[in-house]
Structure 1
Amino acid sequence: MKRQKRDRVERAHQKGYTAGVNGKSPESCPFSSLEAKEHWLGGWREAREEVSKGYFV
């Protein structure tokens, strides 16, 4: 995997994670490409799991 591509999907994951921690809905994903959207949603799901476990208040 190229570095540039990895950076883009890592950034999408991080933005999704941040959105999940802040309580945003999955429909608020700003990405249109399928790959970036999948990574954003993965980060969002990860954050929502951690919020439900009480890691964030």
Structure 2
Amino acid sequence: DLTTIRQRATAAVAGLPARTRCLTEPEPLSAEISPALRQLRAELSGDRIPA
């Protein structure tokens, strides 16, 4: 259900600032997190990211 997915994504994005404080130093995870965040934001705003 799209509404449930959007609610979960919104909650995940809302919870990110506290978690990302531990990612201020460069580490491999940031390379995976950034594209995921861009995709989440695009989906929440109704846009599609070109593959």
TM-score for both structures, normalised by structure 2: 0.42
In terms of Rg, which structure is larger? 2
TM-score for both structures, normalised by structure 1: 0.39
